[in-house]
Amino acid sequence: MSAALEGVGNVQGGEALELRASLGASFVQGKTMVFADLFTEVQEGDWIFSPRARLSYAFTPDLLISGHWDTLPSGTSTLLERQEFRGVSVQGQYGMRRVLPAWDLALPLDAEVVVLLNGQEWRRVAARAGVLRIQGAEVDRQGFHALTAIVTDETGVREFTREFSETYTFLPAGSGLYAASVGWQPGGWTVGGQAEFGLSPQMSLVTSLRWQTTQSRATARLNYAASTRWSHSFGVRYQGGTGTTGTFLDLTTRYRTRQWVLGAAVQTPLGRPNQTVLALSGAYVTNRWSAFGALQGGLATSWSVGGGWAYQATPDLAVTVTGEASPQSWRASVGLTYQLAPTLRAAVAAESAPQALSGSLNVTYQPAPGHKVEAEWRQPGPVSAAYSYAGPVQLSLGVSTAGDVTALAQGALTFTGGRLLVSPAMTQRAIVVQTGVPNLPLLINGAAPMTTNSQGELILTDLGTGQSTEISVDLARLPITVGVGTDRVVVVPPLSGVTVFDWRGNFILSRWVLVRWQDGRPAAGARLELNGQSYNTDDEGYAFLPDGPALLSGQLVYGDGTTPCRIDLAPQQTEITCQ
């Protein structure tokens, strides 16, 4: 059972309250899934009630067919928005079942062996001394998998584990996702479809088709990863009906390293080469600062250029400068962010543009995980304040000196396995991304910016059909204290249920630590030797050190190797005096 409520209004201007609410229920039994709710809107005093429903049946684990009454073909659970589609949809996949690599387990004695696959008993065997080959274990989901062998012999019971990590750049070769729908929406009949095919470990093909009474659109895109650094994409798009019509070609190439991200793209309409548009972009990231820039222009379009620079002056103070310009206009801004305390942050910014000068002040207080209080002033503009809570339920309340009031409450109760669970939203399909990094900035399919919660998790419920979901690190917003192995991964959404993608091994957390000598002086220009690794302090005595669960122990020495003293640095500690 789920409930959601959102209200928007103005208490000073006498504007009518806008209200949206949903009360629904979901039921899953075997291969059948049912969702139904009552969607209510209040606009300018008028009450509108809309019953909605979706009935789905899984003919096989790889094929799902659904009927819709005012729900989306994708099956997403955007409860507080209209979903005006009435028709039938089909979703499917193939080639996703894989066999894990064989595991040779040495047995010094005859033994009874129980093998667990992802925590569930998979095989039991009586084995003779020697080498036992464990093979044939099949999986049908992406992510991390574990085989555990529980060995019982005359010496006792021992346990061995073998982990397998599976991260996609594209879909596995020979596999595919597809979805199609036909039905009615306001304005007439609609037919749509999407599909994605894994052609090889380095190549994929993504296609889509959408036809409505007044317009049509078809796309095809070939993606190729030449190496871990170079990737290329070629696309064809046809658009007909109202608005811009024609066939368009585009080519994109990208180069990535741990510090550099460079990109170039060109788009041209067939038969109109004078309307070709070229775009260039680049970014460079170091421990203390980062810079980015972009340029776009064409023969028939005006040019535009933009860029920015961010600098971590101290562990608590960050400076950002951005700007953009075109023949028609320009804009420049500068911002400062200061961490007043672990739970309190202030940010001030100023922006200049032709005939306009504006500024802002933002103060954010996070008294506990999931809770956030925020106050903001923009000039020109009103002062606003908001409270939000992201936990088992989702709550928010906002007010402003202009009289605007907004409120949101959303939650769901789920009874499964004899337990009653509380969650922010009810969904029949979701991806849970585990990063282990709180407030990590991510991009979904290259566009939608999102942030992990206080536990370092991100729950994705707005999932497309017939295509994979690309999750990438937003390098422009990435804190310098977070190191990244790979900045992009492709996750296959489930047809139903939840896919948990464990990405925690991809990130390394670091911290700025102020190191002092025994007399309290900052240890400027010194060297730290901790857990077998060497680190240097800067001219203010700060060192950039790993921030993990383990204790860092060693010694502090001058650059010439003299005068050592003892260092024991605890997790999350940001200042230390050597002993």
**DSSP state letters, 116-182:** EETTEEEEEEEE-SEEEEE---EE-S-EEEEEEEEEEETTEEEEEEEEEEE-BSSPPTT-EEEEEEE
Where do the domains of the chain lie, and which CATH numbers do they carry?
Answer: 98-166 (2.60.40.3110), 428-502 (2.60.40.2610), 509-577 (2.60.40.2070)
* pLDDT greater at residue 242 or residue 327: 327
Least Cα distance to 463 among 503, 421, 491, 500 occurs for 491
For the question of whether the overall pTM of this predicted structure is more than 0.85, the answer is: no
Note every long-range contact of 104-110, with CB atoms under 8 Å and residues 24 or more positions apart, other chains counting: 104/131, 104/132, 104/133, 104/134, 105/131, 105/132, 105/133, 105/134, 105/149, 105/151, 105/160, 106/130, 106/131, 106/132, 107/131, 107/132, 107/151, 107/153, 108/153, 109/153, 109/154, 109/155, 110/153
Q: Please give the single-letter amino acid code of residue 407.
A: A
Least Cα distance to 431 among 72, 205, 71, 142 occurs for 142
Q: Which tokens belong to 393?
A: 């339920």
Q: What is the pLDDT of residue 418?
A: 62
Q: Is 271 left (phi over 0), alpha (psi -120 to 50) or beta?
A: left
Q: Please give the single-letter amino acid code of residue 460.
A: L
Phi, psi torsion values for 515, nearest 5 degrees: -105, 130
Sign of CA dihedral 92, 94, 96, 97: positive
With 50 as the cut, is the pLDDT of residue 392 above it?
yes
Q: Considering all CA atoms of the chain, what is the largest pairwise distance in Å, rounded to the nearest integer?
A: 86
Q: What is the pLDDT of residues 420-474, one digit of tens each?
A: 667 676 666 788 888 989 889 999 988 778 888 878 888 887 788 888 888 988 8
Q: What is the pLDDT of residue 486?
A: 79
pLDDT-based confidence at residue 261 (cuts at 50, 70, 90): confident
Average pLDDT over residues 296-300: 86
Phi, psi torsion values for 505, nearest 5 degrees: -70, -5
Q: Please tell me the distance from the alpha carbon of residue 459 to that of residue 23, in angstroms, as a whole number.
A: 21
Q: What is the pLDDT of residue 560?
A: 61
Say which residues have a Cβ less than 8 Å from residue 251's Cβ, sequence separation at least 6.
Answer: 232, 233, 234, 235, 265, 266
